[in-house]
Structure 1
Amino acid sequence: MLKSGRTKRIAFGFVIIVVALVAFIGISTQRRCDAQGGKDYEYIGLFTDVMTIVKKSYVEEVDSKKLIYGAINGMLAALDPHSSFMSPDTFKEMKVETKGAFGGLGIEISMKEGILTVISPIEDTPAQRAGIKAGDQILRIDERFTKDLTITDSVKRMRGPKGSKVVLTIMRDGFERPKEFTLVRDIIQVKSVKSRMLDNGYGYIRVAQFQERSDEDVAKALKALVEENKGKQLLGLVLDLRNDPGGLLDQAVRISDHFIENGKLIVYTEGRDKESRMQFTASSRAKEPGYPIVVLINGGSASASEIVAGALQDHQRAIVMGTQSFGKGSVQTIIPLADESGLRLTTARYYTPKGRSIQAKGITPDIVVEQMEMPKETARRESLFIREKDLENHFENTDAEKKTDDKKEVTKETAKENADAKKAVDPLKVDYQLVRALDLLKSWEILKKMGPEKR
């Protein structure tokens, strides 16, 4: 009996200790909650109160889903210009967009100082053909002012069936007053990579947007340039990232990886949690030869474009030429939600290998070159030059085989060739920045041939 009573006393004492411990933990937890997030519960209560009032008293019956979606949109819009909520339709469209095909106008947009602003028009789209430029402020979409619209709402209003029209009211530096641009919607097929030879040995690659296959396309372009150069190594490369609004981070890393030595840092990200703190280094895959590279950027170069330009600049693998880039130095994580909607949330800032944050600053070119109109070769300029035939008493050409005007018979084939030549505009005749980039590459090769003793 004594043993049994003693056991009961021990058990009773143990229960008291447990109750006291639970009470202590509960009090501590409550204090911690009050200190850290007590206000959160208060505001959530406020939200549910408002929702209940709206559901009960609003002049018309309101769908709960509409209210919740609107509340989430407002919540994310209060954070930064790049965080947003995507409805199931918008989320689905976003996933299609990264594959390179989507409907709309072909404009990458952002909020800048509260104004809907064009980061850049995508190449060969209705926006570019209509004359929309990087930095343009979109004040109205049709009759709706954009001041109170989120980016998601703005995108929805600019999307639509192929062939339908939309009017954008644009304000631009140099405009005395806003101007209206009428655009015809189209299915946007973005070819992310284009390439060509500029001159003997000098290649050109243009990346319009960083999509799922951009790295593969760049690899194919590099190979094609060598083949076009009769199997010889390139003497230099222009990597054109102008008006490239960015895209997928992993594609920026992989494209940089073609040119940066194994193990070297390409970009790193910093955020609040462990998952957002990452480093991306060059892999051990085969690299491009060490030919000189000029990277072209401008105010429409953003995000992934700036990662590539910054990495090549920091490692002195390329000269960056052009004008200051856009300055989007944040990383957005796409988070799928239960009802097939999605969250685009800013989770980190990225930094170049030397630790530069380009957020709201951009990449500064090594050589600043503004885009200018190329000088036109006119008859008037030609007339300024005096030639032998203009001199008094000059000798005539007595070559019997030559006709007076060296006239050729103009066949249908010749006329077609001439017409086609007029249509195909050589970018080296109209693109001042590209001409300067090629000149730099050529002078690089000349200096290398001279050797240090001749410089």
Structure 2
Amino acid sequence: MKLFSLKKTFFLIIVLLGLTATSFAISNDALRQQLKLFSETLSYINANYIEVPDQKELIYGAIQGMLSSLDPHSAFMKPETYQDFQTDTRGEFGGLGIQIAVRDRVLTIIAPIEDTPAYEAGLKAGDRIIRVEGETTEGMSVMDAIKVLRGEPGTDVTITIWREGLNVGKDFTITRDIIKVNSVRSKRYGDIGYIRISNFNENTSRELRNELDKLEKKPIQGVVLDLRNNPGGLLSQAIEVASAFIEPGKLIVYTEGRTATRNELSARRFDDKDRDYPMVVLVNQGSASASEIVSGALQDYQRAIVMGTTTFGKASVQTVIPLSDGSGMRLTTAEYFTPKGRAIQDVGIVPDIKVRSGKVVSDESSMDRVSPSAVPEHLMSDSEELDSDNGAPEDDLQLLRALDVLKALNAFGGTYSRN
């Protein structure tokens, strides 16, 4: 009876392969030969493996193998994993608070989300996850990693990180929690507004609108848009954020794939305000996907100066396809390009002004002191106003330089051009 069941399963698989081959008009002998090789392997496993194999797991494994051979972002999701995937962009989920990807065949942290267990534990963008609970992550897909890392709130998970500058892996034991993501916050530095977007979820555009309303109650002379360690999220929200600063109708991003026609996404009316103040966008290696779309569009139109370090370079389009048994797959079908046609995938957005992260360290005893009378009045007033409201961010060199650039542009009435 068991042998009959195996033969029946095998027959059905061959029929399905034949139907698939027909539906995709497979006509070359080489591909048919490879399908024959697959059927031979499956037949031999069923007949000779030491134990009766689980047919579903065999097929799942074959599908996963096919997809993982394509690129690091295409993946198969078993039914329970596919169900978990549906919660990823809804603003609240259980876990550690990190976005991950496979880079150079290694599970890599794109960025920790602010005010989450991972962020508080000290995980950083670019960290390589080499073990989870002592088990190697070699060959582990992103979907498999998410399933392992998530769990009941209040439970612990230990991950081993390899980080540049470390000779050995470092263990982090982190307590899982419900991740409630408030993606936008703001503050003022004198007449300059600061907006931090930590990720792009379904609430981002609404939160951005609220924060802009608060900032613009008093006149502002510029805005720093901080997208550092923002791993991305919903494309629709990236378009909304870019639309706040780019004229309606202008191209924000387009996609191109092997079979899909070019798909263009343009700015739309964000609100009833026209914002023409100067901007600086801060990015780093933890800025990915939707962050790169926004910064790339603002850079192409010279709407903002991009400052910091080169971004992650994750800008491929994964189409999520539900399958008949409740499982699903993510298949890379296209890539994103900036309005001027620049590729982002594996390249990233290169900043106009490169500034590495760090703190400002000064030795006042070795510096020549400048008399206040020697400082032009318009510069002195800007400096005093900056320091009087929340203080200059001496612990954040990149933000300090962004504020300096905006102050200089306003002081001398100039505009920035990359040409």
Q: Which residue does 1:296 correspond to in 2?
A: 282
Q: Which residue does 2:61 correspond to in 1?
A: 70
Q: Which residue does 2:399 correspond to in 1?
A: 434
* Partners of 1:223 and 1:291 in 2: CA distance: 15
Q: 1:383: how far off?
A: 12
* Partners of 1:83 and 1:118 in 2: CA distance: 17
Q: 1:384: how far off?
A: 9.9
Q: Which residue does 2:268 correspond to in 1?
A: 283
Q: Which residue does 1:267 correspond to in 2?
A: 253
Q: Which residue does 1:390 correspond to in 2?
A: none
Contact 1:100 / 1:191 at 8 angstroms: preserved in 2? yes
Q: 1:284: how far off?
A: 4.5
Taking a change above 3 Å as real, the CA distance of residues 348 and 383 of structure 1, as seen in their structure-2 partners, is closer
Q: How does 1:398-437 map to 2 (within 5 A)?
A: 428-437=393-402
Q: Which residue does 1:356 correspond to in 2?
A: 342
* Partners of 1:426 and 1:140 in 2: CA distance: 41
Q: Which residue does 2:242 correspond to in 1?
A: 256
Taking a change above 3 Å as real, the CA distance of residues 354 and 60 of structure 1, as seen in their structure-2 partners, is same
More displaced, 159-168 or 357-366?
A: 159-168
* Partners of 1:37 and 1:343 in 2: CA distance: 26
Higher relative contact order (CA 8 A, sep 6+): 2
* Partners of 1:117 and 1:215 in 2: CA distance: 28
Contact 1:100 / 1:190 at 8 angstroms: preserved in 2? yes
Q: Which residue does 1:135 correspond to in 2?
A: 126
Contact 2:242 / 2:252 at 8 angstroms: preserved in 1? yes
Secondary structure of 2:57's counterpart equals: helix
Contact 1:55 / 1:61 at 8 angstroms: preserved in 2? yes
Q: 1:209: how far off?
A: 1.0
* Partners of 2:337 and 2:280 in 1: CA distance: 21
Q: 1:287: how far off?
A: 4.6
Larger radius of gyration: 1
Q: 1:370: how far off?
A: 0.8
More displaced, 317-326 or 188-197?
A: 188-197
Match of 2:332 among 317, 340, 346: 346
Contact 2:112 / 2:123 at 8 angstroms: preserved in 1? yes
* Partners of 2:292 and 2:65 in 1: CA distance: 29
* Partners of 1:176 and 1:189 in 2: CA distance: 35
* Partners of 1:118 and 1:282 in 2: CA distance: 30
* Partners of 2:92 and 2:60 in 1: CA distance: 26
Contact 1:205 / 1:238 at 8 angstroms: preserved in 2? yes
Contact 1:257 / 1:287 at 8 angstroms: preserved in 2? no
Taking a change above 3 Å as real, the CA distance of residues 314 and 385 of structure 1, as seen in their structure-2 partners, is closer
Secondary structure of 1:370's counterpart equals: coil
Match of 1:176 among 150, 167, 170: 167
Taking a change above 3 Å as real, the CA distance of residues 322 and 243 of structure 1, as seen in their structure-2 partners, is same
Taking a change above 3 Å as real, the CA distance of residues 131 and 321 of structure 1, as seen in their structure-2 partners, is same
Q: Which residue does 2:357 correspond to in 1?
A: 371
Contact 2:359 / 2:394 at 8 angstroms: preserved in 1? no
Uncovered stretches (5+) of structure 1, i.e. residues with no partner = 1-28, 387-424
1:443 matched to 2:408? The reply is: yes
Contact 1:261 / 1:287 at 8 angstroms: preserved in 2? no
**AA matched with 2:345:** Q
* Partners of 1:245 and 1:298 in 2: CA distance: 10
* Partners of 2:69 and 2:410 in 1: CA distance: 52
Q: Deviations over 1:16-61 (max 9, x none)?
A: xxxxxxxxxxxxx99x967x44433433333333333333433333
Q: 1:429: how far off?
A: 3.6
Secondary structure of 1:191's counterpart equals: coil
TM-score by length of structure 1 reads 0.76
Secondary structure of 1:96's counterpart equals: coil
Uncovered stretches (5+) of structure 2, i.e. residues with no partner = 1-20, 370-389
Taking a change above 3 Å as real, the CA distance of residues 430 and 113 of structure 1, as seen in their structure-2 partners, is same
**AA matched with 2:268:** S
Secondary structure of 1:430's counterpart equals: coil
Contact 1:242 / 1:297 at 8 angstroms: preserved in 2? yes
* Partners of 1:52 and 1:232 in 2: CA distance: 73
Q: Which residue does 1:318 correspond to in 2?
A: 304
Q: Deviations over 1:68-91 (max 9, x none)?
A: 222211111111111111222222
Secondary structure of 1:97's counterpart equals: coil
Q: Deviations over 1:141-171 (max 9, x none)?
A: 1111111222222222211111222221111
Q: Which residue does 2:143 correspond to in 1?
A: 152
* Partners of 1:33 and 1:162 in 2: CA distance: 49
Match of 1:165 among 156, 167, 192: 156
TM-score by length of structure 2 reads 0.82
More displaced, 185-194 or 281-290?
A: 281-290
* Partners of 2:157 and 2:269 in 1: CA distance: 49
Higher share of residues assigned helix: 1
Q: Deviations over 1:65-124 (max 9, x none)?
A: 222222211111111111111222222222212011111111211111111111111111
* Partners of 1:136 and 1:426 in 2: CA distance: 31
How large is the RMSD of aligned CA atoms in angstroms?
Answer: 2.6
Contact 1:260 / 1:287 at 8 angstroms: preserved in 2? no
**AA matched with 1:163:** G
Query: Percent identity, aligned pairs only?
Result: 49
Secondary structure of 1:110's counterpart equals: strand
Secondary structure of 2:320's counterpart equals: strand
Counting matched residue pairs gives 373
Contact 1:334 / 1:345 at 8 angstroms: preserved in 2? yes
